[in-house]
Each structure stands twice: as structure tokens, then as C-alpha cells.
Amino acid sequence: MLSRPDNPHSEKIADVMTDWLRQEIVNADQGRNSYLSDYRKRRNDLFKPFDDSSNFLARKAKSHYSRLVQWVAPYKEEGFRRNDTFAAKLIFASMMEIAGSYRKQCIFEAADANDYHQRRYTQPAGINIGQLAAAELTTVSLDSVTGMDEQARLDYIIGRTLQVNDDNLQLHKQIHTWAIAHPREEGSIATRDGEPVRAMQEAQGHCASLAVAHIVVAASFRDGDYAAVPFLEPKSITDVAGTIYPLAA
């Protein structure tokens, strides 16, 4: 077993993730991605085919899917295992997927634009991040990961990332197929059928668990020190200035 500094419990990891997501909501509404916060337009997107070029929500989902495929591939190479910017990008991708899926959940649940914005700022996700973090750490603990050789842990996290990425893309396609099959009525869509909300909560759960797994793997390449695990700022990747270390606080 590694000799390592005292590391945070799941509550600390969950608190950091929750704070990150809360700040992302503020930054998203004020930054270059504020167009995604236009409730009326984005609600209309849900009723468009997934491959419609004017469907901004679908375009964002497809862009994030392709980006993650490209981002995770170099992890196998020696120079990327302990590269902070690289590890931070992989955690960032999972966190942004939580944010995007929760945005869609709020659109489905909201009765109108005011309700949408209230939901977004009342809580940062539609899942219990604390419970998910605790559950993930019982199966993907630092000791279990560091017990693997480096190639095995890389194969594990790369394979899991690609699987979650594929599964989530299908969930995002699914909600557009569902919406097209239902009439465009005013008010909450979720009160008529909870299926799209469940799909987006499933996507959030996948990505929250994956984010924790990436945090554990990143710590394993940094002498078992969670304080050294890098994050990116909770804003558009275009505006990110550098890495931050919220688990060190």
C-alpha cells in the first residue's frame, strides 16, 4: 500500500463536485454558452430530430461525445499519465456532462422559463452526488486502483470512459426520439411522462461516478494524493485559463 497523506472522504469529493457544478451554472448563464440557457429555444430543440443541424442541444451532445473520444485516447501514452492538464480535461468532460444532462432535466420538468431558472439555481444536479461518490469509492478505491499495474488501470479507465460516453449518447438520442413522439404542449413535460427525466438522471449518474473514478485514477498517478488531483475551471473550455486543485482546500 502507498504511504500517502490523509485523503478526503467521499463527502469532500462530493462537496467539491457540487460546488464546481454550482459555479458552472453561473458561468454558463453569463458566458459564451448563455444561448444554451434560453429556455424557450432549447425546449424547442428537444422536439427536433437529433440530427437536425438547427438542434443546438443535440449538436452540443454530439460535440462532447466526439471530444471525449479524442481526449481519452492519449492516456495510454507515458507522457500523459501524470500530465495535470490532461487529467483535468477528463474530469472536466464528466462534470460538463452532468451539467448538460441536468439542464435538459430542468427543461423537461419546468412549467415555464421562470420555473426553469429557479430549478437550475436551487440545486446543481438531479442526482445525489454524495451517495454516488460514496458508492463509487467502495468499488474503485485508491488501494484497489494502485493495486493494478499502470497499464491495467489505464485500460480500465479508458474502457469505462468510452462505454459511458457511448451509453450517454444513446440516452441523449432517446430523449429527442421521445419528445418528437409527443405533442408540444405548454407546461411541464415531466408531469405527462417521467421517462425523459429518468434518462437524464441516468446520464448524470453515469458521469458523476465516472468523474469520481477519474479522480481516483489521477490520484493514483500522483503518489496517492487527492490534493494533487487537477480540475479545470467550471466554464467553457475556450475560456479555461489553467488547472485548479479544489481537493487541496
What is the Cα 180 distance to its own chain's centre?
25
Q: Is the pLDDT of residue 193 over 90?
A: no
Which range, of 55-69, 75-89, 147-161, 169-183, averages the lowest pLDDT? 169-183
**Where residue 186 falls among pLDDT bands split at 50, 70, 90?**
low
**Where residue 3 falls among pLDDT bands split at 50, 70, 90?**
very low
Bridge partner residues of 218 (DSSP): none
The helix/strand/coil state of 59 is helix
How many residues comprise the chain? 249
What share of the chain has pLDDT > 90, as a percent?
A: 71
**Where residue 200 falls among pLDDT bands split at 50, 70, 90?**
very high
Nine-digit cell string for 110? 419546468
**Where residue 189 falls among pLDDT bands split at 50, 70, 90?**
low
The helix/strand/coil state of 248 is helix
Q: Is the pLDDT of residue 6 over 70?
A: no
